[in-house]
């Protein structure tokens, strides 16, 4: 699995992987804060844990909010909290919320159909990419934010 993770990191693009990592980190931090009696955190507090700019983090929180994974509270005591229990938020939920691009993609333009490789590459790679994506999704669906936090604190 380590080889697959390294391969995905190199081919899927740093930006997509980074968005998922930032979102998972933020959710785990919110869950830890909740367990310690802090139901709501500001974006600045979460950004400090992630070690990123609060503006960048708020974009991620917005994606997570649209997916129902976090809630924003306005007014006195404003901030963010988990939208549902950490035991019910899978990494697949996180990936779907913040990473709209496919895991693996085909050519942006049609390959040369006069070439034997160009003629046959798309259906072959589509089948392989679909299989890899299914495996990836299954793996992410098995881990929740609560699971991640448990492993972090172990």
pLDDT tens for 65-82 read 999 999 999 988 899 999
pLDDT of 11 over the 70 cut: no
What is the number of structural domains in the chain?
1
- Give the pLDDT band of residue 105 (cuts 50, 70, 90): confident
Q: What percent of the chain lies above the pLDDT cut of 70? A: 89
**DSSP-based three-state secondary structure for 62:** helix
Query: Tokens for 77?
Result: 């005591």
Residue 124 lies in a domain: yes
Rounded (5°) CA angle 14-84-32: 70
- Give the pLDDT band of residue 5 (cuts 50, 70, 90): very low
- Give the pLDDT band of residue 101 (cuts 50, 70, 90): confident
Mean pLDDT of all residues in 135-151: 96
pLDDT in the model for residue 15: 55
Phi, psi of 137 (to 5 degrees): -60, -40
Q: Which domain holds residue 54?
A: 16-153
Query: Tokens for 59?
Result: 């974009």
pLDDT in the model for residue 103: 80
Residue 46 lies in a domain: yes
- pLDDT, one tens digit per residue, over 111-126 is 888 898 988 989 899 8
Domain at 30, CATH number: 1.10.10.10
| DSSP 8-state code for residue 144 | B
H helices of the chain, where? Answer: 2-11, 14-35, 43-50, 54-66, 91-98, 116-141, 145-153
Residue 131 lies in a domain: yes
Residue 36 lies in a domain: yes
CA distance 109 to 104: 15
Q: How far is CA 12 from CA 2, 40, 57, 128, in A?
A: 15, 33, 21, 15
CB 106 within 8 A of CB 123: no
Name the average pLDDT for the chain: 88
Query: Tokens for 85?
Result: 């229990």
Listed residue (52, 138, 139, 38) closest to 82, CA to CA: 38
Residue 26 lies in a domain: yes
Residue 84 lies in a domain: yes
Residue 2 lies in a domain: no
- pLDDT, one tens digit per residue, over 24-44 is 999 999 999 999 999 999 999
CB 94 within 8 A of CB 64: yes
- Give the pLDDT band of residue 16 (cuts 50, 70, 90): low
Residue 53 lies in a domain: yes
């Amino acid at each position: 699995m380590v080889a697959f993770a390294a391969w995905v990191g190199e081919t899927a693009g740093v930006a997509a992987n980074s968005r998922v990592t930032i979102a998972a980190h933020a959710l785990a931090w919110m869950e830890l804060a909740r367990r310690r009696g802090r139901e709501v955190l500001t974006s600045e507090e979460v950004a400090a844990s992630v070690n990123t700019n609060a503006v960048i983090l708020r974009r991620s929180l917005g994606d997570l909010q649209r997916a129902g994974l976090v809630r924003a509270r306005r007014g006195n005591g404003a901030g963010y909290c988990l939208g549902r229990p950490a035991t019910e938020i899978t990494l697949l939920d996180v990936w779907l919320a913040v990473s709209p691009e496919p895991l693996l993609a085909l050519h942006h333009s049609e390959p040369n159909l006069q070439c034997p490789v160009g003629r046959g590459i798309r259906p072959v790679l589509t089948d392989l990419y679909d299989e890899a994506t299914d495996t990836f999704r299954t793996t992410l669906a098995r881990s929740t934010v609560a699971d991640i936090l448990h492993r972090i604190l172990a």
